[in-house]
Amino acid sequence: MSRFSKCLSYQIKRKVMSTFIFLGFYTAICAVLYLLTLFANSTSNGHSSFNSSMFFTAAIFGFVYVIADYKSKTNYLMMFGNTRKNIFLSSLSSNIVLSVLLMIISTVFSIIESALTELLYKSNEGMNLLHAIYPESNMGTEMLFMGALLILITSVSTLYGALAYKFGSIFKILFWVAFGMSFMFFPLSPTVANLFNAFFCYGVPNGILLAPINFIIASLILYVISYAAVLRQSQAV
């Protein structure tokens, strides 16, 4: 077994295990909320429904997990005599596995949720945001979109992790200040809005199929930048 395979297997195991722990907690919380809405439905004349927004939560989990895990995992694998190249490439591959796993979980959750809504509330009115943005979408194209978007999100996290590892707290402070300020300025800028629409292929025919291409190209660029940051990086403790 090559060192790359060992690193990959180690990283996939860790990520899959963490994902299932996350899933366990999330399912428990959703079950409680479901019961609450059921209870509310049975004690009032109004109509209740429930949407777990699994994909958004999964995306946040993927983003935070990759960042939180970056430094400790890199140092740990380096201590066991693995090269930066093997650690990085195995991280990239395991991030793709994580993205696909989260995409499958989100889809399965969505299917179960529709079935439950239909069964419990006798309604199939559950809102699908992707379907609202891309009217021509179906489950297959939505899965493709979600998978590519998750790959992009984990590539952003990897770049964040690599730069935070390299520059330490200075980078973290600057990043989060800039991130916070972006919420004040970006919505006011028509250029940013146009770029955003173009990137997500909003309003473009077959946009849900074209947007994933943009996501993958962007994630490739981010991974190349991350690799450049990692390649000659001294170990930081």
Partner 1 sequence: MSEFILETKALNKSYGDVKAVRDFTVGLERNKIYGLLGRNGAGKTTFLNIISSRIFADSGEVRLFGYNAVENQEALAKICYMPEKDLFIETARVSRILKDAAIFYDNFDMEYAQRLCKKFDLSTGKKYKALSRGYESIIRIVIGLASRAPLTIFDEPVLGLDAAVRDLFYRELIADYESNPRTYIISTHLIEESADVFEEALIIKDGMLVEKLPVDELKEMARYVSGKASVVDDAVSGMNIVHSEMVGNVKICAVFERLTDEKLRMLASGGADVSPVPVQKLFIYLTEQNQEVVK
- Binding residues (CB under 8 A) for partner 1: these are 3, 6, 9-10, 72-73, 75-76, 78-86, 232, 234-235, 237
- The string over 211-232, giving b where at least 16 C-beta atoms fall within 10 Å of a residue's C-beta and e elsewhere, is bbeebbebbeebbeebbebbee
- Say what angle helices 3-43 and 54-79 make with each other, to 10 degrees: 150
Residue nearer to partner 1 on the CB measure, 9 or 189: 9
Residue nearer to partner 1 on the CB measure, 9 or 182: 9
Residue nearer to partner 1 on the CB measure, 13 or 47: 13
Handedness of CA 65, 68, 72, 77 (dihedral sign): positive
Least distance between partner 1 and beta carbon 191 (Å): 41
Residue nearer to partner 1 on the CB measure, 86 or 117: 86
Least distance between partner 1 and beta carbon 23 (Å): 19
Least distance between partner 1 and beta carbon 75 (Å): 4
Residue nearer to partner 1 on the CB measure, 153 or 230: 230
Least distance between partner 1 and beta carbon 210 (Å): 39
Least distance between partner 1 and beta carbon 176 (Å): 24
